[in-house]
A and B are shown apart, each in its own frame.
Chain A
């Protein structure tokens, strides 16, 4: 189960070590950013690194303040400049380096990071964690996305203002090869379609959610997406991935990569953050894979999601360690 186990959020504290040396979370416009933080006793946390995006400051103030208050004396706040992945990387790297000692317990609530910031953080943890550090990830499940909207009207984000490769995952796109674009699809039909239009890839692989452990909302969204998308891109290759299992998602991506090894592979993770971690693991294992990020024009700030009562938590140290480190020149 990829190191992360599903459990009621009320049980999260018991699933973690007695002391958390570093708790990392991202203040968001989603109340889900509070769920795990509010279920960990404050005394357990030695240091908290709270991230937020400067462009969303007006939308995140309340939740940011609540998180700050919760860990009042041990908080380091990192405010990321919009549209600047170097700033994200440098600030996270600096903050992690400033936490003294080895054998640290690092607990990351991955729920509300942007896909891009999360992927950068995962790469940093793979490359720069210290000897005997233990890394735990937590993820709060949503009971509903695009709260209040029905069926095809559901949306999380709209438009693409920029597409860029993700720092730490430049891939190995050789000029002699054609592009294979692989998308882990979610609700975001329009953005995924735009991504395909922008890349005009020679081959498209569309990953749709599967698995007994998958919530019905993900299954429904996937079916709706699949129908509408395949009408337009009838030649796309279809594969399945379990959106709450990073390891199996990694395997699903690598399977597609090996099937079409003669292409440059670009992966866009547009489903749950756990599956995004799966994309990071795949790119670490096969560093020819490039990860890309489609920067959205607009997010559904008012009703992005509703927090559920269960979460995924677990020790992912071995998962991160099992993947390759970058090759040197």
Chain B
């Protein structure tokens, strides 16, 4: 896999892409970074044409997401077309709208897996995050239908203050459902750049506990080890695959480096996908950036191991700047201060 990614990087091929079919959603998750109006989604015909173009450009790994994808009545023809083009398809959904016939059709399509967001094993907590009463029960019913068809399910557990201590319960629930489990303690600012939802971030004390839980991070000593020396290969490295081998297409045809990186590089309704990918000044600028060019980060001891997200840095106002959430994670993981001074924030452990 690493060799395939390296070759894609060498050839300038967008080997991975996320395609959001809609921003509409039947839930109103308190941490969601999207607005849910339909501002003119691409039609099935436009999406078929786009998928043809993406296949020709070399996209292999395709995440189909939203919003809630099952609100698209034409979801299955779109997925069928994607599979005809031999994309490796992953589907992200809250699973609340999945019926048995949908699970049967998904199984026939041989998609890689379905990722379902579950916030808590406690209905009152999950439902308070989705702001949709009964949603945990419906999501679990959807997962059971998928599993009954032998479909691989990944339970994605985004952590924030209200559910910060529920990861063990969600992990046990995933195990009971014979689903895989992933955890993500990152809250992304709203695409409108409103940063107020960042107040939902997991308290630092809880994040430190998560980073020292071997059931979540594996080898704790390795995970929390101090970073090694920063050498030339690290300084000459690219900060992230976004814009190099990965991209994101919104329901309105805007092409971005990543779903978490809202720097529009062009619109596939106005230009061919490959033209935007190859020639947009924004993509070219992103591709010109090496770790050595990063303000502050290039002199940080964590440079080689930090999970710095360029999209989050961009949302903080500087494409080449630090991503504070990742500086904080590096610090909490290792106990070593990053070059970027961390802001003071409410560190009370008021996780419920």
Do A and B assemble together?
no
